[in-house]
């Protein structure tokens, strides 16, 4: 079954005056991954994909060494910083010391003008992680995907490399990362254009 997403109904959000690319986001920063290296360090520099549209600053090649994170909730109607006191209030008493990688997979680009695969580490949805997500859902937001599928973005690779390259890359990462636990940093990341 195809993943349903808000980008499938782009005209609805355009009519409402909502830009799906600029919604607010609360993230949990993670400790950097060890034991993996970028395609660039292994002679595959052409494999990485960088956004043509500079407003999509997050599409930036090998990203897991920059600020590895998982999204606790994407879709706030304003920047999450504007909701900070309310976010802090709904998260009182909630804590998450670590997350676990369930497997590595990919998402297709939602943009017709950006031909990439987003390589991600899917995070096991523990009861504690789900609780944090659900607490944030009490605040005004739009769900941009059906269901909560937390993930840590590892890299963006060009579709020009082909499906075999993508699948081999993912298999290698699964061998190294499946079941790995990663510490969560204590401070909440309120997003922004970084």
The per-residue pLDDT for 57 is: 86
DSSP label at 166? H
Q: 20 falls in which pLDDT band (50, 70, 90)?
A: confident
The confidence band for 39, taking pLDDT boundaries of 50, 70 and 90, is: low
Q: What is the mean pLDDT of residues 165-176?
A: 90
pLDDT in tens, 152-168: 999 999 998 888 888 98
46 confidence band (pLDDT: 50, 70, 90): low
pLDDT value for 71? 92
For the segment 123-145, the average pLDDT, to the nearest whole number, is 95
Tokens encoding 39: 């395609």
Q: Determine whether 50 is exposed, middle or buried from the number of CB atoms within 10 Å of its CB (0-12, 13-18, 19+).
A: middle
Q: Is the pLDDT of residue 40 over 80?
A: no
d(CA 94, CA 113): 40
* Non-local CB neighbours of 150 within 8 Å, separated by 6+ positions: 70, 71, 72, 99, 122, 123, 125, 129, 133
H helices, E strands: number in the chain: 4, 6
CB neighbours of 45 closer than 8 A, spacing ≥ 6? 39
What is the mean predicted confidence (pLDDT) over 85-109? 95
Percent of all residues in the chain with a pLDDT value above 90, rounded to a whole number: 57
> Each residue of 79-88: pLDDT tens digit?
999 999 999 9
The predicted structure's pLDDT at residue 194: 44
**CA 50 distance to own-chain centroid:** 16
pTM over 0.85, yes/no: no
Structural domain spans, the chain: 6-31+38-189
* pLDDT score of 62: 85
Rg (CA), the chain: 17
On the question of pLDDT at 41 being above 60, the answer is no
The CATH T-level fold of domain 6-31+38-189 is Cyclic Phosphodiesterase; Chain: A, (3.90.1140)
- Give the whole-angstrom CA distance, residue 107 versus residue 144: 14
- Residues contacting residue 191 through CB under 8 Å, at least 6 positions apart: 24, 25, 26, 27, 79, 80, 81
More confident residue, 66 or 155: 155
pLDDT level of residue 147 (50, 70, 90 thresholds): confident
Q: What distance in Å separates the CA atoms of residue 178 and residue 85, rounded to the nearest whole number?
A: 36
């Amino acid at each position: 079954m195809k993943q349903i997403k808000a980008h499938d109904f782009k005209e609805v959000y355009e009519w409402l005056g909502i830009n799906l690319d600029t919604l607010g986001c609360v993230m949990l920063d993670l400790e950097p991954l060890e034991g993996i290296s970028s395609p660039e360090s292994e002679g595959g520099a052409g494999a990485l994909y960088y956004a043509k549209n500079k407003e999509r600053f997050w599409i930036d090649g090998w990203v897991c060494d920059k600020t590895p994170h998982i999204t606790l909730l994407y879709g706030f109607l304003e920047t999450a910083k504007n909701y900070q006191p309310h976010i802090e209030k709904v998260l009182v008493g909630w804590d998450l010391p670590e997350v676990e990688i369930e497997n590595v997979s990919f998402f297709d680009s939602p943009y017709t003008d950006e031909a990439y695969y987003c390589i991600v580490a899917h995070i096991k949805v523990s009861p504690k992680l789900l609780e944090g997500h659900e607490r944030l859902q009490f605040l005004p937001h739009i769900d941009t995907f059906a269901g909560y599928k937390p993930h840590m973005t590892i890299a963006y690779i060009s579709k020009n490399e082909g499906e075999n390259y993508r699948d081999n890359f993912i298999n290698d990462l699964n061998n190294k990362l499946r079941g790995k636990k990663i510490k969560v940093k204590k401070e909440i990341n309120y997003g922004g254009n970084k």
